[in-house]
């Protein structure tokens, strides 16, 4: 299992001068961490822009600097190199690109002075391969919130944990932390609380199980805290009951999260590289 990765993710010096921010470096680092965590081999793509314009260059766009027969011929050459890799290793699970790049943009690219939707000039050469922007691929740390007080609840959480892990997400499962007996003391309560809060703060996405006549109170708190932190929250509601004529669940929870009705739909909503 491997990904084709734009070289500037592991070596930001490949990028044009002055465009790399601290948040870019954080995204690049998490992309690499995800690969290491799940044993995904990283195969670097060539960088046509660096080869054509040099390693020290100002930001540009395709029409301004790359719309030439020479650059097109260089893309032909680099595409052939990548195709040889694919022929030898098999298809990658994805290409990891960097949005806005004239060559390696995924969802948008600087074709002219303004961005336009679509892939950059190099990645468009591989339409059959899933391409993911670093922002999507780096969002892999999930906090799985949900009720955990019965055997049925904990078993269902484990089912979700297994499914999400198989889709290359690193899942924090609160039920695996701390003593669940009635005899635990206040010090342990505080320690468990602090561990969960840190996990929420370090997560990219919160997946919350909100089944039942009313959502679990602890889950509701976790969703609210995550929303206040600006985190993405996805609610899994398989319960067929409605909270109102226009609500599947409590209004405040529904308005602060994305609702999905089947667990099988989670990988798509989470941008799994395996779907």
Q: Please report the pLDDT score of residue 193 as a whole number.
A: 92
Are the C-beta atoms of 195 and 173 separated by less than 8 Å? no
Q: Please report the pLDDT score of residue 58 as a whole number.
A: 92
pLDDT at 1 over 90: yes
pLDDT at 143 over 60: yes
pLDDT at 74 over 70: yes
| Single pTM value for the model | 0.90
Indicate if 157 and 260 belong to the same structural domain.
yes
Tell me, yes or no, whether 275 lies in a domain: no
Indicate if 120 and 168 belong to the same structural domain.
no
Indicate if 21 and 111 belong to the same structural domain.
yes
Which of 91, 113, 137 delimits the end of a domain?
137
Q: What is the pLDDT of residues 175-221, one digit of tens each?
A: 987 655 565 678 888 898 999 999 999 999 999 999 987 888 999 99
- Dihedral of the alpha carbons of 166, 228, 9, 12, in degrees to the nearest 10: -170
Indicate if 246 and 207 belong to the same structural domain.
yes
Indicate if 23 and 125 belong to the same structural domain.
yes
Q: Please report the pLDDT score of residue 180 as a whole number.
A: 59
39 backbone φψ class: left, alpha, beta (φ>0; ψ -120 to 50): left
Tell me, yes or no, whether 274 lies in a domain: no
Indicate if 128 and 55 belong to the same structural domain.
yes
Kindly report the CATH number assigned to the domain that includes residue 236.
3.40.50.450
Domain count, the chain: 2
Indicate if 36 and 131 belong to the same structural domain.
yes
Indicate if 115 and 195 belong to the same structural domain.
no
Lowest mean pLDDT among 3-12, 75-84, 174-183: 174-183
- Average model confidence (pLDDT) across the chain: 92
Q: What is the pLDDT of residues 243-257, one digit of tens each?
A: 766 677 788 888 889
Indicate if 24 and 97 belong to the same structural domain.
yes
Indicate if 29 and 114 belong to the same structural domain.
yes
Are the C-beta atoms of 192 and 177 separated by less than 8 Å? yes
Q: Please report the pLDDT score of residue 181 as a whole number.
A: 59
Q: What range defines the domain where residue 44 resides? A: 2-137
């Amino acid at each position: 299992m491997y990904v084709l990765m734009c070289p500037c993710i592991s070596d930001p010096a490949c990028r044009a001068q002055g465009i790399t921010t601290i948040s870019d470096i954080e995204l690049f680092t998490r992309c690499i961490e995800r690969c290491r965590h799940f044993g995904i081999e990283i195969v670097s793509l060539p960088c046509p822009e660096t080869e054509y314009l040099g390693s020290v260059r100002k930001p540009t766009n395709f029409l301004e600097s790359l719309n030439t027969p020479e650059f097109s011929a260089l893309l032909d050459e680099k595409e052939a190199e990548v195709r040889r890799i694919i022929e030898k290793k098999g298809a990658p699970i994805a290409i990891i690109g960097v949005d806005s790049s004239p060559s390696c943009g995924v969802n948008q690219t600087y074709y002219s002075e303004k961005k336009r939707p679509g892939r950059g000039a190099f990645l468009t050469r591989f339409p059959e391969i899933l391409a993911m922007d670093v922002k999507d691929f780096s969002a892999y740390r999930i906090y799985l919130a949900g009720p955990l007080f019965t055997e049925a609840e904990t078993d269902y959480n484990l089912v979700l944990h297994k499914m999400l892990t198989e889709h290359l997400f690193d899942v924090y499962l609160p039920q695996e932390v701390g003593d669940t007996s009635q005899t635990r003391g206040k010090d342990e309560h505080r320690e468990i609380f602090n561990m969960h809060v840190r996990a929420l703060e370090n997560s990219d996405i919160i997946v919350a199980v909100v089944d039942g006549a009313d959502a679990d109170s602890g889950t509701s708190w976790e969703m609210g805290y995550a929303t206040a932190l600006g985190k993405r929250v996805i609610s899994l509601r398989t319960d067929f009951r409605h909270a109102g004529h226009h609500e599947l669940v409590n209004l405040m929870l529904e308005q602060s999260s994305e609702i999905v009705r089947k667990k099988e739909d989670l990988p798509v909503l989470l941008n799994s590289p395996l779907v």
